[in-house]
């Protein structure tokens, strides 16, 4: 397996693009509608937010994907099309506009939206601009890059990756674009992610692979503890790589899942690193736990802790915040067995051993925490299981960004 370029266009038979249509009225230079199209029908699966309030596109996509097939995906930024007048009708009209250009059934199109909740989507500009968008799509890296830019809201960095692997003696490629910076929390945080592959895999196995993948990637990140109304992760597999169709959990399926996980974990880390206003990526690894589930719960509690996030922002080695967050995680453990390290490219420092503080070099600790990528390593000393989750610090800029997000 290796990382390659091309994003969602890396796999055979996929084209993508993105242009400005006018959904974002305040930023006419920003692309705001993206399109991904496969040369043929794809095995397609998606997972969505666990928020009880769901954007219109989620209801439409669940209906369209009942047969596990799709050929195109359309995504707009700048408007969530959630809890808004005519939201369901407008989501359907987005799909219909794409179907008209592609020449496919409207049910073979999935849609997604991101942006402000409660405001009516200007579907007219999307319908008027769809012919231009369809003409702009391409199978090269520029097409994927344009689509990746078009789905961004408060993101400061494009999130786009691709991997190549071998399955059944055939070269298989997987690519993805994602957006997500704020309203990100485990259980599908505020994110949109579209993954493409030329692997031949059945709809049922595509769904299984996606469920396995999100649980160890997108469900292990948090920025601010808020779960969005629009979160969607979709994977489309068109089979053009020519491998034998994967219909069961065999060695080929395992190879596909491994590649999908690598791609998704890296995209998830990019989201956590680009958290709104963030100055640090926080990686929390819990080792020596009784079970992986227990390690995950504790790691999530640490990355979600506002006080821990604030301490990392201030480059303050306040390990007590870490133990506190572990203690209210809901998991039972013996604090007297816990040790904590802070680590980064600047070094590693043990700050707590067997549940008690140690004298440590404050200057070294500050140097470690001044790095962008900071690791909080926790040893439970009670078992052999481990888990890693990712988050970011909380800064003054986070308040600035969200204080006037709508206006």
- Catalytic positions are 190
Question: Which H helix or E strand runs over 193?
Answer: strand 192-197
Phi/psi for 124 (5° steps) reads: -60, -40
Give the contacts of 47 (CB within 8 A, at least 6 positions apart): 188, 210, 211, 214, 232, 233
Alpha helices in 65-215 (DSSP H): 87-102, 123-136, 141-150, 203-215
Question: What is the distance between the alpha carbons of residues 44 and 245, in angstroms, rounded to a whole number?
Answer: 14
Residue 57 tokens, joined:
């596109």
First to last CA, the chain: 45
Radius of gyration, alpha carbons of the chain: 22
Answer for the pair 250, 363: CB distance below 8 angstroms, yes or no: no
Question: What is the distance between the alpha carbons of residues 61 and 143, in angstroms, rounded to a whole number?
Answer: 23
Neighbours of 251 (CB within 10 A): 10
Answer for the pair 296, 277: CB distance below 8 angstroms, yes or no: no
Alpha helices in 154-238 (DSSP H): 203-215
For residues 313, 315, 321, 323, the Cα torsion angle rounded to the nearest 10 degrees is 120
Distance of CA 283 to the CA centre of its chain: 16
Residue found by looking up tokens 């799909």 in the block: 95
175 burial level (CB within 10 Å; 0-12, 13-18, 19+): buried
Task: Read off the DSSP letter of residue 86.
Answer: T
Closest CA to 148 of 55, 46, 30: 30
Residue 81 tokens, joined:
């099309």
């Amino acid at each position: 397996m290796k990382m390659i370029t091309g994003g969602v266009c890396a796999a055979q038979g996929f084209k993508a693009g993105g242009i400005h249509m006018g959904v974002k009225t305040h930023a006419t230079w920003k692309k705001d509608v993206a399109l991904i199209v496969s040369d043929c029908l794809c095995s397609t699966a998606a997972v969505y937010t666990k928020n009880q309030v769901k954007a219109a596109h989620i209801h439409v996509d669940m209906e369209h994907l009942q047969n596990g097939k799709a050929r195109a995906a359309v995504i707009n930024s700048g408007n969530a099309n959630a809890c808004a007048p005519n939201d369901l009708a407008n989501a359907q009209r987005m799909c219909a506009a794409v179907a008209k250009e592609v020449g496919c059934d409207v049910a073979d199109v999935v849609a997604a939206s991101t942006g402000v909740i409660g405001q009516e989507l200007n579907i007219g500009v999307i319908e008027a601009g769809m012919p231009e968008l369809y003409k702009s799509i391409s199978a090269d890296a520029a097409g994927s890059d344009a689509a990746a830019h078009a789905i961004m809201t408060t993101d400061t960095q494009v999130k786009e990756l691709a991997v190549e692997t071998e399955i059944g003696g055939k070269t298989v490629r997987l690519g993805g674009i994602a957006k997500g910076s704020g309203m990100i929390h485990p259980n599908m945080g505020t994110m949109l992610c579209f993954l493409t592959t030329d692997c031949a895999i059945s709809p049922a196995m595509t769904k299984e692979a996606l469920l396995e993948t999100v649980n160890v990637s997108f469900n292990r990140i948090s920025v601010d503890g808020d779960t969005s109304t629009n979160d969607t992760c979709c994977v489309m597999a068109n089979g053009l790589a020519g491998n034998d169709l994967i219909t069961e959990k065999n060695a080929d399926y395992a190879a596909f899942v491994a590649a999908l996980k690598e791609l998704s974990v890296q995209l998830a880390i990019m989201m956590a690193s680009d958290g709104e206003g963030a100055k640090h990526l926080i990686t929390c690894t819990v080792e020596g736990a009784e079970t992986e589930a227990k390690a995950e719960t504790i790691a999530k509690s640490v990355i979600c802790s506002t006080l821990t996030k604030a301490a990392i922002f201030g480059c303050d080695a306040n390990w007590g915040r870490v133990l506190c967050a572990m203690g209210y995680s809901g998991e039972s453990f013996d604090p007297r067995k816990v040790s904590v390290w802070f680590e980064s490219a600047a070094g590693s420092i043990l700050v707590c051993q067997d549940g008690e503080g140690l004298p440590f070099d404050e200057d070294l600790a500050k140097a470690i925490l001044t790095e962008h990528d900071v690791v909080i390593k926790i040893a439970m000393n009670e078992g052999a299981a481990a888990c890693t989750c990712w988050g970011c610090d909380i800064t003054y800029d986070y308040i600035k960004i969200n204080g006037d997000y709508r206006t």
